[in-house]
């Protein structure tokens, strides 16, 4: 049986809510493949006063038939399956006296239900208010469609104001990934997996820990039977209809076309309509607008970056390279040359995550002259620690520090520099040092 790793904070939160003396209404959401279902199932393990129900894309009526069957078995009451009802609200109105107190009901992938019939959201508002609340029955709604989960929580939603807690589930951090890949002892290799898969549990699960990094990447990405060939489309189809346009935008940003004008030119999408696509991708946290460290928050000098590691690495390497794969030698070249070349940005992003709990503000610096500084970090006294991040070996530390110090002449004259450092996999601050200092 697969071990359960991480999520200590989320598990503790849920178990405390389950044992609360009042009814709790919890919203759980996050992108696909994060392990939301695993978290929910783990949270009620050995808890007999609970029901987990996974909704499907079938009609609300068929889902209700399935729910009735499972509920009757969990509560060992066949009457619950015999009751005839034309809606979810009607069913709960008829079984309210048959439901026990201190019970937890979990609906996983609730967007499948609400997307088919928006009036069901109002039904669930009545279900919670009239049939669950006074019996101290907990209601947990979980979903991967961020847009629909946001709609459930929005001010205009019938369920607004009833939520007593929420979990926005995130990817594993490097420590959780290290724990998940427990058979792999090479920390550099673990970091490579973290950068490529972004700490997404489902992707990490595909790694055969008995194989080398090269063999895993070859099997997972570069074979004719790759399980990831349609992954980006799969993720986007859960949220969007015009998937082709979103793919074109993500592909453009991955190539470095990162301003509004350049994205429009490369994706062949009119600027007048491009903004709505970008806003949608931002809402899902797949991309973000970035401003230079010293610019004001409302600055128009923004660039777009891809936040999702897997999507970035897919478009940057694997999508365009698969057509050039002829033999094992070609695969080896992709793994040994192209992957390291594209991990720099992801390593910088990971270092930012790791270091973020040490600083008041953290960001990057860039200007129109092409000067870029990976990480600029503000201390309590307003002084700055500046880092260059390099995910490669054989670096001349003194030379890199010299280059970095020269870039600082582009900073405003009033800033005070406290420290200038290199973060690399074998020089300066090592990966192990970063982990020890921050976790």
CATH of the domain at 96: 3.40.50.300
Owning domain of residue 299: 204-343
Q: Which of 317, 343, 369 is the last residue of a domain?
A: 343
**What are 83-137's pLDDT values in tens digits?**
999 999 999 999 999 999 999 999 999 999 998 888 899 999 999 999 999 999 9
Confidence at residue 2, expressed as pLDDT on a 0 to 100 scale: 66
Asked, for residue 250, whether it belongs to a domain, the answer is: yes
* Alpha-helical regions (H) of 255-382: 260-267, 271-283, 309-313, 319-321, 328-333, 339-355
What's the whole-model pTM score? 0.89
What are the helix and strand counts (H, E) for the chain? Answer: 22, 11
Contacts of 253 (CB under 8 A, 6+ apart): 263, 287, 304, 305, 306
Q: How far is CA 188 from the centre of its chain?
A: 22
Q: Which of 292, 312, 343 is the last residue of a domain?
A: 343
Shared-domain flag, residues 86 and 47:
yes
Shared-domain flag, residues 333 and 366:
no
* Alpha-helical regions (H) of 207-323: 213-221, 231-237, 243-254, 260-267, 271-283, 309-313, 319-321
**What are 398-422's pLDDT values in tens digits?**
999 999 999 999 999 999 999 999 9
Mode of pairing for the β-strands spanning 303-306 and 361-366: unpaired
Distances (CA, A) of 263 to 249, 259, 395: 7, 6, 33
Shared-domain flag, residues 157 and 13:
yes
Shared-domain flag, residues 288 and 358:
no
Shared-domain flag, residues 120 and 55:
yes
Q: How far is CA 7 from the centre of its chain?
A: 14
Asked, for residue 288, whether it belongs to a domain, the answer is: yes
Shared-domain flag, residues 339 and 413:
no
Shared-domain flag, residues 30 and 104:
yes
Q: Which of 343, 370, 386 is the last residue of a domain?
A: 343
Shared-domain flag, residues 327 and 388:
no
Shared-domain flag, residues 370 and 336:
no
Q: What percent of the chain has pLDDT over 90?
A: 70
Asked, for residue 348, whether it belongs to a domain, the answer is: no
Confidence at residue 6, expressed as pLDDT on a 0 to 100 scale: 86
Asked, for residue 178, whether it belongs to a domain, the answer is: no
Q: How many domains does the chain have?
A: 3
Asked, for residue 194, whether it belongs to a domain, the answer is: no
d(CA 377, CA 359): 6
Asked, for residue 418, whether it belongs to a domain, the answer is: yes
Shared-domain flag, residues 42 and 108:
yes
Asked, for residue 144, whether it belongs to a domain, the answer is: yes
Output the domain CATH number for residue 295: 1.10.10.10
**What are 33-75's pLDDT values in tens digits?**
999 999 999 999 989 999 999 999 999 999 999 999 999 999 9
Shared-domain flag, residues 219 and 139:
no
Shared-domain flag, residues 212 and 154:
no
Q: What is the mean pLDDT of residues 228-256?
A: 92
Asked, for residue 220, whether it belongs to a domain, the answer is: yes
Please indicate whether residue 299 or residue 183 has the higher confidence score (pLDDT).
183
Q: What is the mean pLDDT of residues 340-369?
A: 90
Q: Which of 260, 251, 302 is nearest to 278 (CA)?
A: 260
Confidence at residue 433, expressed as pLDDT on a 0 to 100 scale: 65
Confidence at residue 439, expressed as pLDDT on a 0 to 100 scale: 44
Q: What is the mean pLDDT of residues 316-339?
A: 82
Q: What percent of the chain has pLDDT over 70?
A: 96
d(CA 332, CA 337): 8
**What does pLDDT average to over the chain?**
91
Q: Name the residue with tokens 């949220």.
A: 239
């Amino acid at each position: 049986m697969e071990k359960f790793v991480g999520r200590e904070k989320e598990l503790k939160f849920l178990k405390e809510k389950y044992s609360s003396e009042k009814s709790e209404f919890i919203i759980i959401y996050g992108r696909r493949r994060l392990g939301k279902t695993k978290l929910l199932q783990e949270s009620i393990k050995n808890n007999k006063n609970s029901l987990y129900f996974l909704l499907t894309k079938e009609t609300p009526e068929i889902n209700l038939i399935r729910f009735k069957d499972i509920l009757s078995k969990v509560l060992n009451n066949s009457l619950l399956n015999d009751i005839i009802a034309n809606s979810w609200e009607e069913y709960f109105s008829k079984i309210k006296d048959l439901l026990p107190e201190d019970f937890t009901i979990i609906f996983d992938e609730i967007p499948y239900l609400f997307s088919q019939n928006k009036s069901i959201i109002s039904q669930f508002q009545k279900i919670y208010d009239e049939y669950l609340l006074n019996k101290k029955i907990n209601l947990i709604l979980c979903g991967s469609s961020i847009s629909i989960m946001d709609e459930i929580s929005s001010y205009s939603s019938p369920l607004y104001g009833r939520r007593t807690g929420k979990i926005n589930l995130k990817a594993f951090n490097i420590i959780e990934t290290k724990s998940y890949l427990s058979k792999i002892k090479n920390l550099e290799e673990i970091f490579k997996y973290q950068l490529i898969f972004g700490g997404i549990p489902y992707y990490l699960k595909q790694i055969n820990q008995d194989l080398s990094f090269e063999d895993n990447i070859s099997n997972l990405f570069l074979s004719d039977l790759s399980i990831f060939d349609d992954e980006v489309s799969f993720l986007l189809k859960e949220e969007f209809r015009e998937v082709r346009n979103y793919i074109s935008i993500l592909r453009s940003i991955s190539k470095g076309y990162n301003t509004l004008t350049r994205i429009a030119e490369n994706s062949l999408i009119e600027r007048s309509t491009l903004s709505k696509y970008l806003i949608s991708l931002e809402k899902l946290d797949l991309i973000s607008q970035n401003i230079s460290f010293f610019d004001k928050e409302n600055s128009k000098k923004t660039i777009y970056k891809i936040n999702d590691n897997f999507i970035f690495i897919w478009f940057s390497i694997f999508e365009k390279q698969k057509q050039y794969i002829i033999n094992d030698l070609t695969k080896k070249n992709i793994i040994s040359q192209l992957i390291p070349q594209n991990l720099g940005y992801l390593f910088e992003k990971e270092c930012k995550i790791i270091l973020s709990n040490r600083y008041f503000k953290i960001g990057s610096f860039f200007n129109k002259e092409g000067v870029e500084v990976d990480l600029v970090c503000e201390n309590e006294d307003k002084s700055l620690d500046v880092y260059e991040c390099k995910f490669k070996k054989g670096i001349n530390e003194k030379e890199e520090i010299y280059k970095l110090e020269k870039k600082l002449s582009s900073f405003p004259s009033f800033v005070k520099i406290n420290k200038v450092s290199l973060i690399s996999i074998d020089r300066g601050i090592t990966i192990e040092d970063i982990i020890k200092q921050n976790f």
